[in-house]
């Protein structure tokens, strides 16, 4: 009888000891599909990046993503939803910098860029000024036309990084009379340029590539310090005698405030591995996208730097 009791007690102790490990397995993150919130329409830069990266991340994370599109208001609709999401790691999203920062100047959103939980970034995309393929042939022609008439810029949305880059470019080129026509996203703005409904647009190089290659658009100026591999024949401002602050589009992944760091690290590790994966790197080459890997800490620093930089243009932006 005593022996049976000892055996039963030993078995019970083994079960009790195993329970925490079993519970840990059941609660391991992630256990289900992750909702990826996208504030821009399909076909734009942000969507292209997400569709290229997320399938590779799934391989390392062991979970699937579902992209939820919430376009409009320069991304602010999605940013608000990311910010208000439950901090459990199952709702994260695409945060475009400095676009989200500018959104705080132009409206009173529910989010605060500084309080998002940064996770990862690998996309830093220069902006390019484009016109219809059979219109202006150079920056000089565009500037000359602007001296005699009002010009129109097709904007991806008030508060986007492209809009800020356009405001900076217009000011630096000395264009006095430019009307900014705001669309829901870059694809719509570029369609308006190709159809000659507006004179020009400033947009990320990666989105304009196919339209420039097809001849529907012509790239006149890459707003960067050095020429971009996507447009090696297109000059940068300093080559034409202009002083212009480069305002690249920085697209990262962030979660709501107070997202537990242990989950951030799991996500960060999977995203970094994906960004180094040969499959992903081949895709970036085909898409003419560079890769600049930023871990959680580096991306957080970049956000702080961009907040300080955007503040310099606040008055100019609000005046338009």
Torsions phi, psi for 223 (to 5 deg): -90, 85
What is the fold of 127-240?
A: D-Maltodextrin-Binding Protein; domain 2 (3.40.190)
pLDDT greater than 70 at residue 218:
yes
Contact between residue 219 and residue 213 where contact means Cβ atoms under 8 Å apart? no
- What pTM value is reported for the model? 0.75
What percent of the chain shows pLDDT beyond 90? 68
307 vs 74, residue with greater confidence: 307
The pLDDT value given to residue 23: 44
Over residues 183-187, the mean pLDDT reads: 87
Output the six-digit token pair for 27: 């609660």
pLDDT greater than 50 at residue 311:
yes
Q: Where are the domains of the chain?
A: 34-121+249-319, 127-240
The pLDDT value given to residue 41: 87
Euclidean distance between CA atoms 102 and 297, whole angstroms: 22
In which band, very low, low, confident or very high, does the pLDDT at 112 lie, cut at 50, 70 and 90? Answer: very high
Residue 286 region, left (φ>0) first, then alpha (ψ -120 to 50), else beta?
alpha
The pLDDT value given to residue 8: 47
Is domain 34-121+249-319 given the CATH code 3.40.190.150 in the classification?
A: yes
Euclidean distance between CA atoms 251 and 275, whole angstroms: 14
Domains 34-121+249-319 and 127-240 share a fold: yes
The pLDDT value given to residue 134: 96
Q: pLDDT for 46-76, tens place per residue?
A: 899 999 999 999 999 999 999 999 998 889 9
Over residues 97-111, the mean pLDDT reads: 91
């Amino acid at each position: 009888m005593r022996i049976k009791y000892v055996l039963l007690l030993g078995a019970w102790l083994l079960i009790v000891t195993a329970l925490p490990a079993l519970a840990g397995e059941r609660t391991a993150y992630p256990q289900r599909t992750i909702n990826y919130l996208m504030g821009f329409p399909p076909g734009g830069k942000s969507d292209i990046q997400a569709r290229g990266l997320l399938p590779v991340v799934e391989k390392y994370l062991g979970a699937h993503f579902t992209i939820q599109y919430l376009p409009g208001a320069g991304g602010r609709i999605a940013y608000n939803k990311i910010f208000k999401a439950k901090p459990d790691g199952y709702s994260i999203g695409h945060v475009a910098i400095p676009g989200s920062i500018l959104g705080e100047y132009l409206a009173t959103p529910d989010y605060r860029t500084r309080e998002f939980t940064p996770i990862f970034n690998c996309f830093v995309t220069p902006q390019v000024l484009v016109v219809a393929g059979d219109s202006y042939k150079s920056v000089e022609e565009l500037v000359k036309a602007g001296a005699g008439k009002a010009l129109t810029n097709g904007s991806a949305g008030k508060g986007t990084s492209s809009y800020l880059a356009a405001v900076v470019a217009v000011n630096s080129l000395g264009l006095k009379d430019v009307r900014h026509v705001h669309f829901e996203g870059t694809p719509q703005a570029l369609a308006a340029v190709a159809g000659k409904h507006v004179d020009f647009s400033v947009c990320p190089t990666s989105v304009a590539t196919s339209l420039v290659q097809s001849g529907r658009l012509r790239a006149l100026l890459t707003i960067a310090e050095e020429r971009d591999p996507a447009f090696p024949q297109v000059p940068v401002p300093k080559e034409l005698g202009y002083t212009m602050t480069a305002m690249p589009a920085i697209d990262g992944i962030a979660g709501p405030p107070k997202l537990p760091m242990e989950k951030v690290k799991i996500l960060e590790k999977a995203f970094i591995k994906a960004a180094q994966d040969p499959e992903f790197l081949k895709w970036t080459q085909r898409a003419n996208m560079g890769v600049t890997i930023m871990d959680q800490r580096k991306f957080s620093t970049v956000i702080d730097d961009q907040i300080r930089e955007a503040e310099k243009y606040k008055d100019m932006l609000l005046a338009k």
